[in-house]
Structure 1
Amino acid sequence: MKAEQPSDRRAFLSTSAKIAAACTLLGSMSGIAATQTDKPLQNNGVSRITDKHYYLDDALLETGFDYRDSTITHTKTALHTLEIKDGKIAAVLANKQHPDNQLNAYSAQGKLILPAFRDMHIHLDKTFYGGPWQAPESREGKTIMDMIALEHTMLPALQPYTKQRANALIDLIQSKGSTIARSHCNIEPVSGLKNLEALQQVLADRQQDLTCEIVAFPQHGLLLSKSEPLMREAMQAGAHYVGGLDPTNVDGAMEKSLDTMFQIALDYNKGVDIHLHETSPAGRAAIEYMIKTVDENRSLRGKVTISHAFALATLNPEDADKMAKQLAEQQITIASTVPIGTLHMPLKTLNQNGVFVMTGTDSAVDHWSPFGLGDMLEKANLYAQLYTRPDELSLSRSLAIATGNVLPLDDKGKQVWPVSGDDASFVLVDASCSAEAVARISPRQASFHKGNLASGSVQKQVS
């Protein structure tokens, strides 16, 4: 299969993926009110680990590749014990080897251990998830300005439920393996700093099982809604990134909008993460202007993310390759939701040129879309279908978009994760290897964050 798939293939994938997502969503929504502790545990099953130092036995780790001639045909695995201490992996041991027999031991029951997933574009502060089912209103004939107008009336009605629903959405993504996230949070005159304050309280309560950055997001237009003073207050209040939105189509002044966004970031030594839905020529001009700005302000290198970046999908292969090289030189990250349909993003070209590409839920169930499953493994599956070949190596490499480029094996099959000193953040998956996990979107049994059992359950070993 070629990397650049024919249009009929993309159309088929678009239709089939939407059907699959809808079916999966119906299954997940049926238990929307349940918590992890509501699920029946197996014998000796535990859903909470209080130990700071313990062993996790029967952990299936990838150890290398099998080859036929020069072709990778299979991933080798073996059971190991992980010694976990103070949130780190202290040692990777032979299975059931316990140098300190006074420590408690738990069992992963032979489940595959993969690096923790990262939901790097989500909106925890405004969601229908955790409340009654509500489909979005029809968007036929509506523009982004119409959606902004809708938020003026909708946001005040959602604010009493911000904490409750943010917690429910966190529970969902953790059940799918994500314990690292980046959440955009509305900062505009309708919400003020209320959403930020509520989200910060939720994240403070969840800091043991989730690491989450906050992007101050001027959803109603940085210039259009005159939100610069509020954005500056948000920086002082602890937001990690300065957000932005469609500087031409919404703010109507591309350079002034981007200059304002970048100046706030420079003034407070923060990063930038902008929603850029605009396609060519406006979107391309905005990307080129951001590349130029970062080149002129080297302190911004490695601190700028362009979310969506749909303009890249409009470039011919030569222009996409050239822009990818420029993005990589300035260390600008792309956050893509791996869109299906008519937009075919050059994600493989970006990766090949060294651009860091990550993915996220974006909307779960809200006024924009009802199809978000909170599942980064599903995003890796879509990436594999749309941009790679269905072989063992390609499938295993596709996992990188869900894990922040952390993989158990390097391209040659050398085991590079986990090693002593790594954060004990990982997910237990019912699969034989990462290639199968990506291809089959395999079930998750448990998620760990810095040694804490964040979701699911494991077995406690009985002496």
Structure 2
Amino acid sequence: MNTQDNISRKDFLKNTTLAMAGLSVSKGFSTENLPSENIIPSIKDKLSFKNVRLETGFDYEEGEVIATKTALFLVEIENGKITNIAPNQPNAKAIDAKGHLMLPSFRDMHIHLDKTFYGDKWQAIRKRTNGVKGMIALEQKILPELLKTSTYKAEKLIELLQSKGTGFARSHVNIEPTSKLQSLKNLQKALENKKNSFSTELVAFPQHGVFYTDSVPYLKDAAQMDIDFIGGVDPFTIDGAIEKTIDFTVQLAIDNNKGIDIHLHESGESGLKTVEYLIEKVNENPVLKGKTFVSHCFVLGKLEKTKQEEIAEKLGASQMGIASTIPIGSLIMPIPTLYKYNVKVVTGNDSIIDHWNTYGTGSVLQKANLMAQLYGYNTEFSLSRSLKIATGDILPLDDKGNQQWPKIGDKANLAFLDASCSAEAVARVSPVTSLLHDGKIVF
């Protein structure tokens, strides 16, 4: 006898739907009160959650925030948006969130989805020679083989990010004479396959230099495709010409209505000159304000305090952002100073288990935790504020403890965590139990 015949219709529907929705009781949700006849339509079209923990305010003692207030709610979602936030109804026919904390889903704002070993056998990086140019030579050698499976590996890497609560990424994608546009095309296939569960913006990234290898024609082609930013890397070290490379990048971005996101690892005089020249060009072309970023920008960590303040103030005035992976070791990035001057700071995992980097967990919540540790953000208040680097500056409570997220009408891009509040989630890198993307359960 088929074992399926021994399962009740209610249980069969429930199990089928859980598989479709990505839910399981082991992840923390209970579905015992879901209606049996309508279970699949309710999962697909409308979701209701009970016992959802939301932050409601701060507890104070002698003017200091000592705890975060929370309460349980009923949250309803339809057509990708939050449609109702009501007092909790423990007996409602709804998915039981079991008191897990609901937060905005996370955003990985600097990653390379197009080239990774993830999804294949384990291998650590090999000893480097000749700096970045040596790595370019290595890429020219290994990219043809990597491209054979890059679509599959990108999908597996996206699934890793989703398991860590991330529903959006800004991915740099190689554009150079070796892979030409193939790396972009392969990644676009993966993104098409994941379009209902994950969102991205893409950076056309001349990893092998704009002029060091002739990437110009490929960048021009990519700029007319479905990408969002024109990238770059160490214009002095790689191309030997700061102004020539920046001028080309700026003009290509303006001509194609794109943003700019440039990798800058140079920490000496050339790094400072590159930042200052890019600030100058953005001020000359205000259309680039709010959509220009410098990734890494290690030179900021090498400047004297007064110069750090000066550059941070100029970055803030130009509405330029910094994408930092929050490096550890001797180089400490001045993120508190950047915040002081209202510079937008975002973070990401960068390379995850590839030929550049052996490490990478896929968690930007871990990056928030690292930032908090590096800068001594160890109080309830400062830990809760640290969450913003993982969520794209969205926080459940404002600095005065007023609830500002979620609101009815907000997009249902959210994560459930086994945590009591934001501060605990950051401090303990609390486990993600589910992820919703545009109102759909995707993990």
Using structure 1 for the length normalisation, give the TM-score: 0.87
Q: Which residue among 202, 211, 221 is the counterpart of 1:223?
A: 211
Cα distance in 1 for residues equivalent to 2:221 and 2:74: 47
Contact 2:49 2:75 in 1 (8 A): yes
The separation in 2 between residues aligned to 1:422 and 1:50, in whole angstroms, is 19
Look up the match of 1:146.
134
Asked if 1:65 corresponds to 2:58, the answer is yes
Aligned to 1:440: 428
User: 1:389 deviation in Å?
Assistant: 2.9
Which of the residues 262, 276, 283 maps onto 1:288? 276
The amino acid across from 1:116 in the alignment is S
Q: For residues 80 and 290 of structure 2, what CA distance do their matches in structure 1 show?
A: 27
Unaligned runs of 5+ in 2: 1-19
Aligned with 1:269 (options 253, 257, 269): 257
CA distance in 2, matches of 1:106, 1:40: 10
- Look up the match of 2:333: 345
Shift of 1:169: 0.3
How far apart in 1 are the matches of 2:201 and 2:404?
A: 26
Give CA deviations for 1:235-266 in whole Å, capped at 9, x if unaligned. Answer: 11211110101000011001001101111101
Q: Distance in 2 between matches of 1:58 and 1:259?
A: 54
The more displaced of 43-52 and 177-186 is: 43-52
Residue 218 of structure 1, CA deviation:
0.3
Counterpart of 1:54 in structure 2 is 47
2:117 — aligned with what?
Answer: 128
SS at match of 2:312: helix
Distance 1:291 1:169 in 2: 34
Q: Distance in 1 between matches of 2:304 and 2:75?
A: 47
Figure out how many residues of one structure are paired with residues of the other and give that number.
416
- Inter-CA distance 63–269: structure 2 relative to 1 (3 Å threshold): same
Match of 1:356 among 325, 341, 344: 344
Code of the aligned partner of 1:391: T
- Summarize deviations over 1:305-345 as a string: whole Å, max 9, x none: 10000010111111111111111111101000000001110
Q: Report the AA paired with residue 356 of structure 1.
A: K
- 1:108-128 deviation per Cα after TM superposition (whole angstroms, max 9, x unaligned): 111001111000001000000
Q: Which residue of 2 aligns with 1:390?
A: 378
Which residue in 2 is equivalent to 1:96? 89
Q: Residues 423, 36 of structure 1: CA spacing in aligned structure 2 closer, same or farther, 3 A cutoff? A: closer
Q: Which residue of 1 aligns with 2:407?
A: 419
> How far 1:36 moved relative to its partner?
10
Is the aligned partner of 1:106 residue 2:99? no
Alignment of structure 1 residues 1-400 onto 2, 5 Å? 41=26, 44=31, 50-96=43-89, 105-139=94-128, 141-400=129-388
The one-letter amino acid of 2:195's match is: Q
Letter in 2 for 1:274: I
Q: Which residue of structure 2 aligns with residue 30 of structure 1?
A: none
Task: State the distance in 2 between where 1:135 and 1:266 align.
Answer: 40
CA RMSD, Structure 1 to Structure 2 (Å): 2.0
| Partner AA of 1:54 in structure 2 | L
Q: Aligned partners of 1:149 and 1:38: how far apart in 2?
A: 45
Structure 1 CA distance, aligned partners of 2:140 and 2:332?
33
- Which residue of the partner structure matches residue 25 of structure 1? none
Amino acid at match of 1:346: P
Change (3 A) 1:415 1:37: closer
2: CA distance between counterparts of 1:59 and 1:51? 20
Q: For residues 40 and 332 of structure 1, what CA distance do their matches in structure 2 show?
A: 44
Does the CA-based 8 Å contact 2:31-2:95 persist in structure 1?
no
Which one-letter code corresponds to 1:253 in the other structure?
A: A
User: Secondary structure of the residue that 1:249 maps to in structure 2?
Assistant: helix
* Alpha-carbon spacing, 1:190–1:278, altered in 2? closer, same or farther (3 Å): same
| Distance in 2 separating the partners of 1:316 and 1:242 | 30
> Bigger shift: 41-50 or 283-292?
41-50
Deviations 1:220-247 (A, max 9, x none): 0011111111011111121111010100
Is the Cα contact below 8 Å between 2:377 and 2:386 reproduced in 1?
no
Structure 1 letter corresponding to 2:429: I
Q: Distance in 2 between matches of 1:327 and 1:38?
A: 44
Distance in structure 1 (CA, Å) of the matches to 2:24 and 2:125? 30
Deviation at 1:41, TM superposition (A): 4.7
Give the AA of the match of 1:211.
Answer: S
Compared CA separation, residues 110 and 40, structure 1 to 2 (3 A)? closer
Task: Tell me which structure has the larger Cα radius of gyration.
Answer: 2
Distance 2:259 2:329 in 1: 31
| Structure 1 CA distance for aligned equivalents of residues 303 and 114 of structure 2 | 34
Describe the SS at the equivalent of 1:405.
coil
Mapped partners of 2:23, 2:64: distance in 1: 46
Which one is further off, 57-66 or 382-391?
A: 382-391
Q: Residue 414 of structure 1: CA displacement? A: 0.4
- The DSSP-based 3-state class of the residue aligned with 2:85 is strand
Structure 2 equivalent of residue 20 of structure 1: none
Q: Which residue in 1 is equivalent to 2:6?
A: none
TM-score (norm 2): 0.91
Paired residue secondary structure (1:260):
helix
Residue 382 of structure 1, CA deviation: 0.3
Identity %: 47
Specify the SS of the correspondent of 2:232. Answer: strand
CA distance in 2, matches of 1:54, 1:97: 15
Note closer, same or farther for the CA distance 1:51–1:37 as it changes in structure 2 (3 Å cut): closer
**For 2:113, what is the secondary structure of its paired residue?**
coil
Match of 2:396 in 1: 408
SS of match in other structure, 1:323 = helix
